Amino acid sequence: MENGKISAQITKLADLLEFQGANSFKIRAYRRGARVIKDSTDSFATLVTNDPSQLLEIDGIGKGVAEKIRQLLQTGEIAEINEILETVPSTVLDILRIPGLGPKKAAALYQELNIQTLDQLQAACEANEVQQLKGFAAKTEESILDGITIAAAANQRIYWSDADDLVQSLRTHLQTCQAVRQLEFAGSYRRGRETVGDLDILVDSADADTVMAHFCDYPDLQQVIVQGDTKMSIRVGNSFQVDLRVVETDAFGAALQYFTGSKDHNVELRGRAKQLGLKINEYGVFRINGDNETYLAGATEADVYTTLNLPCFAPEIRESRNEFAWAEDNSIPELITIDQIQGDLHMHTTATDGKASIEEMAAAAKGRGLKYIAITDHSQRVSVANGLDAERLLQQWKEIDRINARQSDDFIILKGIECDILENGSMDLPDQVLAQADWVIASIHFGQKQPGQQITDRITGALENPHIDIIAHPTGRLINRREAYAVDMEAVFQAAKENSKLLELNANPVRLDLHDIHCAMARERGIPIVINSDAHKITGLDVMKYGIKQARRGGLTADHIANTKSWAGIQSLLSS
Ligand code: DGT
Ligand code: CA
Ligand code: CA
Ligand code: ZN
C-alpha cells in the first residue's frame, strides 16, 4: 500500500472522529501522523513488514497512529472507520469542510434534521429550517450558504500552470499602478505546488488605498469578498480567490516570508526564533527584552533568514520536510534550473497524434537551446492516436536518419518510440524492432485499472526488458481528474535500480508524474530522472518549466536529472 493511501485513511479517521466530537488531542495526533506519512520518502508498508517497532521511532508517529497503520496494512482497513460509518454517513465529511461550521454544529444538523449531504444542507438553509435549531441563528444560516459556495469553489484547486497564467495577467495589471514599489506573489504558487488554492499577492506601498482601488479595476474582477485598511480579497474569472496585502518596505521581506509559507515551515521557523530569544511574524524579526521589542530585520527575505542563522531556502522546499535538516548539515541541494536541461526525450509528431513534423519539432527544440531530442510517437495499440506498427516506425527512423544527415550542426534527433506495455505485460512491438531504436519509452495506456500486483508486474517486467530505457508517466495519475494506477512504486524503483533504467518526470502540468515525493524517493534510491515535455505540438515543448518546478520540490539537482547530461552521458548511465 502506498503512503498516500495510508495517509488518506488516517485523515478520514480524524475527520470522522472530529464529527463525533472526540478528544481533540487524539485528532491532532492523527492529523500530524497523516502528514508525516504522506511526506515520507520511505515506504511505510515496507517498514512495517520489516520491523513494525520502527514505526514508533519516527517523529510524529505516536502509539495510536502506529497501531492504525499496522491494522490497515495487515487487514486492508481501519476497523474504527467502519465502526463510525455504521452510525455516520460518509457524506458528512463534506459538511465538515464548510468554513465556520465546526464538528459540533455539523453533528447537530445531522441529529436534529438528518442532514447528510451538502445539497440537503443547502435546501434546509433555504427553507429556513436551520435557524430554528438551538445554537443556530438566521445569520448562521446565511453564513452556511456562503460557506457552501466557498467550499464548492475551494474544492477547485487550479493547476499551477493556470495559476501562473493568472499571475502574469495580474502582475501586468498591478505594475501599472504608480503607488506600487515592490510586488510579489507568495503562497503555494511561489512554492510551486502542483495545484493552487488561492493567490496571495504582496505589495510594498505607502498608499494602500490607491493600490486597492487599482486592484479593483482588474478587468476580470468578479466580486470583492472583503476589504480592510491594508488587505482585501477578490474573486476573479471563474470564482478564483486572490488575496492582496499592502505592507511597508521594512516589512516586505517578512511578509513575503510569512505568506509564502508553508504553514508548517513557518511553525518550525517560529520555534527556532524563540530558541534564539527572538520573535518572528509577518512584520519582521524582533528581539524580546522584557516588555520591549527591537526590530532586527524584515526588509528582505534573506535578512529574515540570516537573522535566524538560516539560509534563504528556495520556496519550493519550504514544506518542513528536509530543509531544516539540510541547513543543519550544510547540505542544501543546488536545485535544478531550466537552463541546465540539454535535451527532451519524449515528443510526438504528425505520424501519430502530434501537430508538427519531425523537422518542425527539431527546429523548435533547437530554438529553445536544446542539443538533442527523441521522437517518440505512439505504438500501434494506441489506434485512436494512429499508433505506429513496425513498418511505419522503421520508415520514420529512415526519415530521421536522412534529416540527421542533412544537419550541419551537432543537434541530434534520436530514433525513439513510446511503446505500450500491453494488458498481458508483453510489449506492443517485437523486441527485434525495439532493439534498433536509440531510445525506447515504455508506458501504459490500457488496463490502467488492473489490481496492484498485475500492473506492477507489467511495469517491472518492462524495466527488465533490455531494450527499454525508461517508463513514462510511471503512476498514470492526472491531477484533479484521475487516480494513479494501483502500482507499487517501491517495486518500480527497485526494478529501475537493478536494471540501470531511468524514470520519467512527465512535465505536462496535468500529469506532473512522478510527483514531488516520488522524485525525492528516486533521488534517495539513486535512480536518474528524465524530465520530458511529452509535447504534441511545438508549444508543448514549453511545459518543461513545470517539470522543473516539480523536480525542485523533490529536492533534485542537475546530478539527479539525466537530461542535464549529453546524449552520450545518458547512454553511459543506462549501461552502468
Ligand atoms: P493554498 O492557497 O491552499 O494553495 O496554500 P497556501 O500555502 O498559499 O495557503 P494560504 O493561502 O492559506 O496562506 C498563505 C500562507 O500564509 C501560508 O502558506 C502560510 C501563511 N499562513 C496562513 N495561515 C497561517 C497560520 O495560521 N499560521 C502560519 N504560521 N502561517 C500561516
Ligand atoms: Ca494561497
Ligand atoms: Ca490566501
Ligand atoms: Zn507520449
Cα–Cα distance measured from residue 516 to residue 544, given in angstroms and rounded to the nearest whole number: 15
Domain containing 452 — which CATH number? 3.20.20.140
Question: What mean pLDDT do residues 188-204 have?
Answer: 97
3-state secondary structure 379-418: ECCCHHHCCECHHHHHHHHHHHHHHHHHCCCCCEEEEEEE
pLDDT grade for 137, boundaries at 50, 70 and 90? confident
Q: What is the Å distance from ligand 4's center to 15 Cα?
A: 39
Whether residue 489 has pLDDT greater than 90: yes
Ligand with an atom nearest the CA of residue 268: 1
Q: Are residues 277 and 236 in the same domain?
A: no
20, three cell numbers: 463525533
Which atom of ligand 1 lies nearest, measured to the CA of 262? 18
pLDDT value of position 88: 84
Indicate the residue among 308, 328, 348 that finishes a domain.
328
Cα–Cα distance measured from residue 15 to residue 19, given in angstroms and rounded to the nearest whole number: 6
Question: What mean pLDDT do residues 323-327 have?
Answer: 97
Indicate the residue among 70, 85, 100 that finishes a domain.
85
Q: Are residues 163 and 288 in the same domain?
A: no
Question: What mean pLDDT do residues 399-404 have?
Answer: 97
Q: Are residues 78 and 101 in the same domain?
A: no
Domain assignment present for 298: yes
pLDDT value of position 87: 85
Sheet with 221-227, strands from edge to edge, namely 182-185, 199-204, 240-247, 231-236, 221-227
Q: Are residues 481 and 511 in the same domain?
A: yes
Q: What is the Å distance from ligand 1's center to 373 Cα?
A: 40
| Domain membership of residue 281 as a residue range | 252-328
pLDDT value of position 155: 64
Q: What percent of the chain has pLDDT over 90?
A: 78
pLDDT value of position 447: 96
User: Which tens digit of pLDDT belongs to each residue from 420-440?
Assistant: 999 999 999 999 999 999 999
**Mean of all residue pLDDT scores within the chain:** 94
Whether residue 117 has pLDDT greater than 90: no
With a 6 Å cutoff on the Cβ, whether 99 touches ligand 1 is no
Question: What mean pLDDT do residues 279-305 have?
Answer: 96
Question: What mean pLDDT do residues 215-226 have?
Answer: 93
Domain containing 164 — which CATH number? 3.30.460.10
Domain total of the chain: 5
Which of residues 60 and 527 earns the better pLDDT score? Answer: 527
Domain containing 12 — which CATH number? 1.10.150.110
Which of residues 527 and 384 earns the better pLDDT score? Answer: 527
- Among residues 77, 3, 12, the alpha carbon closest in space to that of 37 is found at 3
Q: Are residues 499 and 351 in the same domain?
A: yes
Beta carbons within 8 Å of 555's beta carbon, 6+ residues apart: 317, 322, 333, 335, 519, 520, 523
Please tell me whether residue 438 adopts helix, strand or coil conformation: coil
Whether residue 154 has pLDDT greater than 60: no
Neighbours of ion ligand 3 (CB under 5 A): 198, 200, 243
Cα–Cα distance measured from residue 234 to residue 334, given in angstroms and rounded to the nearest whole number: 37
- The residue to which cell 502506498 is assigned: 2
> Taking a C-beta distance cutoff of 8 angstroms, is the pair 95, 121 a contact?
yes
With a 6 Å cutoff on the Cβ, whether 187 touches ligand 1 is yes
Q: Are residues 381 and 265 in the same domain?
A: no
User: Which tens digit of pLDDT belongs to each residue from 302-312?
Assistant: 999 999 999 99
Domain assignment present for 435: yes
What phi and psi, each to the nearest 5 degrees, are found at residue 330? 55, 40
Cα–Cα distance measured from residue 393 to residue 433, given in angstroms and rounded to the nearest whole number: 9
Q: What percent of the chain has pLDDT over 70?
A: 98
Q: Are residues 522 and 389 in the same domain?
A: yes
182, three cell numbers: 515592490
Domain containing 318 — which CATH number? 3.30.210.10
Question: What mean pLDDT do residues 98-120 have?
Answer: 84
Residue nearest to ligand 1 atom 31, measured at CA: 263
Question: What mean pLDDT do residues 206-235 have?
Answer: 95
Whether residue 149 has pLDDT greater than 80: no
Q: Are residues 213 and 305 in the same domain?
A: no
Q: Are residues 304 and 386 in the same domain?
A: no
- Among residues 394, 442, 444, 432, the alpha carbon closest in space to that of 415 is found at 394
101, three cell numbers: 461550521
Q: Are residues 533 and 419 in the same domain?
A: yes
Whether residue 69 has pLDDT greater than 90: yes
Q: Are residues 411 and 530 in the same domain?
A: yes
User: Which tens digit of pLDDT belongs to each residue from 252-263?
Assistant: 999 999 999 999
Which atom of ligand 1 lies nearest, measured to the CA of 265? 29
Indicate the residue among 57, 85, 113 that finishes a domain.
85
Q: What is the DSSP letter of 538?
A: G
User: Which tens digit of pLDDT belongs to each residue from 504-551?
Assistant: 999 999 999 999 999 999 999 999 999 999 999 999 999 999 999 999
Which atom of ligand 1 lies nearest, measured to the CA of 193? 4
Q: What is the Å distance from ligand 1's center to 261 Cα?
A: 6
Whether residue 150 has pLDDT greater than 70: no
Question: What mean pLDDT do residues 399-405 have?
Answer: 97
- Among residues 180, 229, 244, the alpha carbon closest in space to that of 172 is found at 180
Q: Are residues 129 and 113 in the same domain?
A: yes
Ligand with an atom nearest the CA of residue 232: 3
User: Which tens digit of pLDDT belongs to each residue from 328-372?
Assistant: 999 999 999 999 999 999 999 999 999 999 999 999 999 999 999
Which atom of ligand 1 lies nearest, measured to the CA of 189? 8
Q: Which of 131-145, 240-254, 472-486 has the lowest mean pLDDT?
A: 131-145
Question: What mean pLDDT do residues 385-409 have?
Answer: 96
With a 6 Å cutoff on the Cβ, whether 528 touches ligand 1 is no
